[in-house]
């Protein structure tokens, strides 16, 4: 199979993207975020930074139906594919939005691979506005589907899930656990008293992260007979592509903000953009951003229309995105000069988000190693 023209971006998806972009522009997301950051300049000293969750923004997102884009129609969703979800993820990155929507999109593509009634029920609950987070990996940081440190025995979960993104924003956790037959996925209520959250200290101001410990926690199976690994592996191209799309959107903001600053900031009777030492890195940012965006769109289209090529395209997209995240973050901060690294500038918010996104689901080195295994 071949991917369609324009990577599958039809009129409906373009309208969806434009609607969400207009909504986020009106929300003034960074202005809303800033009051919650007061006194948290140093994440490694003092009290842990509380997770910022704009519940009003999330409620409006649900009212718009954006949360249900990737949920099948049979479970009350809109039933669109990865191309549409990628369009939303790109806008989330462009506005550095602290939102459960990112994790809900990821969770939807995992649950779509699970044939059980419980997985379908969770999708229905998510279509009603429930927030889900992924508790999939162990302390060693391995991204393989069997890396979990959680055990399921006698109907209870024991152990800890590490590096759980936005754990404080979710209602339920999708937990990968070792069972007798292999890895399975389970649904856990985050408010369960046997679930213990230990927030991590991270530099990203737009996300939270935590270690989640399960102390004989009741859990509802979402997969059976060790099929959790299969679901995670089938969904991995979608997880990589959505994360890469977030990076591409943030990189676009960094490019535009830096180019605009180079026009208005003057030095030696010229705007900064007059000098080759400034204009050339900005062009390099543009090239890197366009490369990543193209690979992201190709990966999304492959997932929807050419599944046999989905894994290869997704690793390519996330490899490019991880490198672009680091490059554009560094150049944006550097070319903003003395103001770039100050707390008052939005540049540092995007820089820190990009550094986190760079390593989510594997950095460029890991992606290229996995890609080599496919060739």
Instruction: For the chain, give every domain's residue range.
Output: 5-113+123-129, 133-226, 229-374
Please indicate whether the domains covering 5-113+123-129 and 133-226 agree at the CATH topology level. Answer: no
Q: Which CATH superfamily is domain 229-374 in?
A: Butyryl-CoA Dehydrogenase, subunit A, domain 3 (1.20.140.10)
Inter-residue contact 214 to 198 (CB < 8 Å) = no
Quick one: which of 63, 165, 180, 29 has its CA closest to 107?
165
Domain 5-113+123-129 adopts which CATH fold?
Butyryl-Coa Dehydrogenase, subunit A; domain 1 (1.10.540)
Distance CA(251)–CA(246), nearest Å, equals 9
Quick one: which of 19, 9, 2, 1 has its CA closest to 245?
9
Quick one: which of 136, 119, 123 has its CA closest to 221?
119
pLDDT at 6: 87
Q: How far is CA 225 from CA 101, 161, 177, 185, 235, in A?
A: 30, 21, 12, 10, 18
> What is this structure's pTM?
0.95
Residues of the chain short of pLDDT 70, as ranges, are: 1, 41, 46, 264, 266, 271-276
3-state helix, strand, coil in the chain (%, to 5): 55, 15, 30
Q: Which CATH number fits domain 133-226: 3.30.1180.20, 3.40.50.1110, 2.40.110.10, 3.90.226.10?
A: 2.40.110.10
Quick one: which of 191, 193, 161 has its CA closest to 176?
161
Inter-residue contact 206 to 353 (CB < 8 Å) = yes
Distance CA(338)–CA(333), nearest Å, equals 9
């Amino acid at each position: 199979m071949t991917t369609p023209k324009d990577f599958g971006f039809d009129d409906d998806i373009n309208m969806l993207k434009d609607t969400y972009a207009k909504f986020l522009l009106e929300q003034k997301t960074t202005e809303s975020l800033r009051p919650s950051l007061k006194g948290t300049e140093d994440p490694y000293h003092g009290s842990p930074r509380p997770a910022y969750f704009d519940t009003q923004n999330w409620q409006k997102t649900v009212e718009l139906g954006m949360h249900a884009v990737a949920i099948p129609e049979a479970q009350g969703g809109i039933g669109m594919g990865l191309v549409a979800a990628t369009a939303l993820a790109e806008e989330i990155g462009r506005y550095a939005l602290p939102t459960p929507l990112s994790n809900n999109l990821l969770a939807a593509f995992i649950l779509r691979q699970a044939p059980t009634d419980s997985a379908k029920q969770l999708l229905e609950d998510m279509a009603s506005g429930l927030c889900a987070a992924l508790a999939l990996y162990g302390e060693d940081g391995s991204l393989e589907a069997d890396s979990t440190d959680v055990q399921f025995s006698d109907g209870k979960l024991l152990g800890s899930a590490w590096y759980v993104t936005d754990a404080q924003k979710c209602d339920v956790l999708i937990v990968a656990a070792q069972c007798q037959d292999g890895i399975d996925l389970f649904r856990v209520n985050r408010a369960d008293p046997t679930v213990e959250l230990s927030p991590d200290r991270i530099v990203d101001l737009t996300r939270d992260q935590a270690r989640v410990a399960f102390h004989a926690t009741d859990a509802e199976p979402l997969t059976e007979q060790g099929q959790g690994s299969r679901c995670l592996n089938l969904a991995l191209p979608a997880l990589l592509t959505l994360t890469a799309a977030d990076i591409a959107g943030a990189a676009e903001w960094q490019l535009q903000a830096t180019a605009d600053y180079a026009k208005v900031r003057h030095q030696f009777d010229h705007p900064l953009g007059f000098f080759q030492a400034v204009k050339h890195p900005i062009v390099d940012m543009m090239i890197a951003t366009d490369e990543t965006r193209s690979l992201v769109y190709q990966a999304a289209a492959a997932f929807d229309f050419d599944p046999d090529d989905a894994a290869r395209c997704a690793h390519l997209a996330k490899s490019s995105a991880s490198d672009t995240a680091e490059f554009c973050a560094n150049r944006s901060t550097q070319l903003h000069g003395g103001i770039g690294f100050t707390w008052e500038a939005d540049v540092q918010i995007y820089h820190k988000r990009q550094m986190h996104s760079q390593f989510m689901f594997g950095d460029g080195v890991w992606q290229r190693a996995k890609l080599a295994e496919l060739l």
